[in-house]
Each structure stands twice: as C-alpha cells, then as structure tokens.
A = this chain, B = another copy of it.
Amino acid sequence: MTYTQTQPDHGPAAPGTPADAPRASVGDVDDVVRVLEPDGTRVPDAVLDPWIADLSPHELRALHRDMVLTRRLDAEGVALQRQGQLALWAPCRGQEAVQIGTAHALAAGDFVFPSYREHGVLLARGARPEGYVLAWRGEEHSAYDHTTINAAPPQIIIGAQTLHATGWAMGAQRDGSDDVAVAYFGDGATSQGDVNEAMVFASTFRAPVVFVCSNNQWAISEPVTVQTKYPIAGRAPGFGIPSLRIDGNDVLACVAAMRWALDRARRGEGPSFLEAVTYRMGPHTTSDDPTRYRTSEEVDSWAQRDPIARFEAYLCAEGVLDDSALAEVAAAADTLAAEVRAACIGATTRAPETVFDHVYAEPHAALAQQKADYAQYLAGFATEDAR
C-alpha cells in the first residue's frame, strides 16, 4: 500500500500556509455533516437522518431547553466572576449544541470525562447547582458528585482525561456491560501525547469510548492551524478509528453522530471519533482578552451560526416550540441561574484543617500529625488573643 499523495486523499487539502500565517480553521467549516442549516432549515443527510428519525417533540424541547439553560448558566458564571464571586470562569457560549446534543444521546450508565469547559455536558448529566461554581470559586477542586452524574471531575491538564475515558471503557468491556465512556476535549488537546496514546489504546483494545473533540477554532490565543494542518477528524482513521466531522452548532447533528458512535461502541465495534466544528464565542476564560488575537468580524460571522437561534428557528417553524414554551424555558433558565448564584454566594469556606483531608483513603499517621500540629498552631492565636 502506498500513501504517496503529498496531500492525503481522505479529506480536504491541508492548507499550505506556513505556521506563522495562521488561519481560523483547518478545512472549510462548512465541510461537515449537518441536518440544520445556520438559518434553521432542515436538510437531509443520509448518514445522520436515521439516528434522529425517532426524536419526539418532547425530546426536541428537552434539547432546546438544556441549551438555553446552559447559555444562561454560562452567563451567570461570567457575571459571578465579574462581581468577584468567582475567581475564574471558562465560558462555553457558542458550544451548547455539541455539549447538549452529545450528552442527551447518552444512557445513564455511560460515563463522561469532561474538560473545564463542558458545563452543558454536566448540566445534561443532572449536576447540582453548586457543582458548577464551587471549583471556580476556589472552595473545592471539584464539587460535582461523580457517582450520581457519572462524570469525572472536569480536567484541567489538557488531554489527560482521554486516557481515563479509554481505561474506564476497557473496564466496562471487561464487565460485559454496554456502558460507554466519552472523552471531551478541545482542538488544542489533539496535540498532546496523551490524546494520541488514548487513540492507540482505544483502537488496540476496541474500547467502547467516544472521543468528542470540540473544535472551537482556538486554544487560548492559538488558532487551530497551530495544532494541525489537516482536519482533526482525519486524524482518527489513521489510528483505526472511524470519525465524523460534524457541524458542532447543529444540535441534531450532534445527537445523531453521538448515537452512531454509541451504537458502534455498544455493539462491540470499539471507539469512534467526532470532530464537532464550533466556535468559542467568549474569551478563553474571564482572564483572557481575545481582542488581542482575533477579529470581531470572525466572531460576528460565527454569531450567524448560533446553535440556539438555529434550533429555535427550526422548532418554531415545526410548531414544536411557541412563545409560551419559550417563556417557560426562559423562566427555568432564570431559576437555574438564581440557584447557581445562591449556591455560589451562600458558599462557606471549609475549616482550615480540612486541607489535610482526603489526601489518602487509608489512615496516615504522619499527615494526621501535621493536621493536629496545624490545628494547634491556629488555636494558639485564639489563646493569644484571649490573653
């Protein structure tokens, strides 16, 4: 077998631009599979359609609702940070479709391994209000209860969670269950060794794991062209993993593609890879100033592809949503935001000595001693003060 092509033959030509002339995307952002046009028109797609033919109005409304809730939650996160209630927030605005679409396709027994930006995924998994904020406030490293929502603590070390997902899937496989693991990560993460090793292990062991890469075009200030000269979805087949490049702002495409991937996994066909082409509408985090590295024209052009507006247009046209339903969703979103705000503002900082807790699961005399010494040290101030 030869691979003599100077441009690989299984995708669009890799742009020949040198590294220091970055472009906003690798591959045409419209060279994706989708079923909803940016204006909300439904278009047929032979690959995707079968996977969503059965979606009921109820399910469609649930998708819409969770996207709206995610956006509201995200706005609240930003607001809380601006008000000094959170130390930081990583906005996910613009990425609601891939997060909600893929998460809605899951079964309860599946397990997700999110990055720091997947607020919508955690929402769809049923997280409690405090989950979203306490880590960003600096109260906890992770305030999600992974056992109730089947989600690992959000990962900050770029790409590390992809190996965890693969290992979890190897476990599910050994258990004879049909549970599937899902690894969420960004376009930047694809450069990390861990992500590539995860594909190696997943392929070798046919692990039931779905890799969901949210290609939001940026890794902080670096355009995706710094990470790759070839469309990300084109990477996986070389590891023996089939992939789809989907419109990440089309929630129905995301549901469909995810169902396709989950079905493969449950049938023992191993891993799949989804590249969801989307856009990070906000800054990388609230500490970031994206005007230093990208144009407002670029941001505006992506606003035209908004995932919620698009889906609303479609659902209203179909009569699945009306003004009263929209109002109800908006109210639910405000309720969620209020709950999150309350969980944040009402949070109390743990007692100092708790920094020593849960370093080890088993007794640890040396650390217990350090804890006691520190408690005594702190108590000394009280004594001094009392004198």
Query: Which residues on the B side are within 8 Å of A259 (C-beta)?
Result: none
Given known pairs A19-B205, A227-B204, A228-B240, the reply for A1 and B197 (CB within 8 Å) is no
**Residue A229 at the chain B interface, CB threshold 8 Å:** yes
Cα distance, A233 to B234, chains bound together (Å): 14
**Residue A346 at the chain B interface, CB threshold 8 Å:** no
Given known pairs A204-B228, A204-B229, the reply for A5 and B196 (CB within 8 Å) is no
Query: Within the complex, what minimum Cβ distance (angstroms) separates A283 from chain B?
Result: 24
Sorting the interface of chain A by its residue count into under 10, 10 to 19, 20 to 34 or 35 or more gives 35 or more
Cα distance, A200 to B31, chains bound together (Å): 22
**Residue A57 at the chain B interface, CB threshold 8 Å:** no
In the complex, the count of this chain's copies comes to 2
Given known pairs A200-B227, A238-B237, A240-B229, the reply for A1 and B11 (CB within 8 Å) is yes
Cα distance, A235 to B7, chains bound together (Å): 13
**Residue A193 at the chain B interface, CB threshold 8 Å:** yes
* Cβ-defined contact, B236 with A236, below 8 A: no
Given known pairs A228-B204, A237-B230, the reply for A244 and B3 (CB within 8 Å) is yes
**Residue A182 at the chain B interface, CB threshold 8 Å:** no
**Residue A149 at the chain B interface, CB threshold 8 Å:** no
Given known pairs A8-B237, A238-B238, the reply for A47 and B2 (CB within 8 Å) is yes
**Residue A18 at the chain B interface, CB threshold 8 Å:** yes
* Cβ-defined contact, B240 with A1, below 8 A: no
* Cβ-defined contact, A3 with B245, below 8 A: yes
Sample of 6 A–B contacts (CB below 8 Å)? A3-B245, A6-B269, A8-B237, A204-B226, A228-B240, A238-B239
